[in-house]
A and B are shown apart, each in its own frame.
Chain A
């Protein structure tokens, strides 16, 4: 395949991934690496580098759409970014020291896990614990607009949330993904932050987290401009289109289909890792 054909096909594939990722809320980043390694036979390191760069593009590009809603919690995001950026630095450091086959296996498991967590229905138990004094001290408790006016919420179990965020950062740095699903889990499930606040705050954090490992990737030579170019431009345009269409589409079936694709890609990555066929 010559450069022009390759660039065009990668661009198209990334555009579709970004579009479906935004439309289903599952994120496009998670399918980019398997797309590049399985279908385009790209080395895992280059694929991870290109994917990470495009994660920054989608996070920053869609921030405007999220902010207008007025849900995200800046202090909570900034505080947790200490955990995610340190985790990301560790993850990026590990990419060079963990065998590629192990990275591929972890990737496969993360893919399957993220498809599974999107299928699970969210169940919330009523909060009976006392508010975390740390949350009060750090001014993490917040408000958000609701149909019935302004609602107040408290943040619980700050240390637990902080620890999960460190893990989310490490996975992001190791695999070149946004790990938005895990970030939402940390806030929504561990810290009992309202779901809407969790998703918008998570989107804000993804870009900063990814930037923390991007520097390491750059100095390792994982970011190849000729490959990252079509990936980043494709995902960016695709995800912007996806968020536009999102408002007027029934996405339940599409989500199911896309989750299925993610599971298949996960199995393939797992297989590649286990057989060492990279």
Chain B
């Protein structure tokens, strides 16, 4: 991870193709596309670490606009600055724009088609499995390392968001504040140590 990837020519083609395919095939909210990006960019291409992908997800989640676009922009920017960011965003935006343009012309037929509805219903099953798989992949290292603080944060955030339906923004902000507190305490500790 130490070697910055922008020393090489950014992989524009593969970046565009990946985002295009992922965006064209992603049904459901932003976390679905982020999960697919993690599988592609972290597990298959090794362009990013799982930690970097999570950091980018948190930033995408707490910024305005679509999570998918925000996350794509960050991956692109990390790989090759502004131009690669633009390529990634274009790849993400193009499929829904083209598809919706076509559908807006024939939308009554599309909406009422039982075959389309059934196919999409079945695809949701696959999407659920992908998300469960990504969740297992992300939670496993935390549990294996017995990082109790991380496990506690994970369980608390889960209960707050999924059980109590607290707005995700507050959870992200609250956890970030906790992190700032930890950073300040750690800095004080090491600062005090230097003076002695």
Decide whether A and B assemble into one complex.
no
Binding site for B on A (CB under 8 A): none
Residues of B whose CB lies within 8 Å of any CB of A are: none
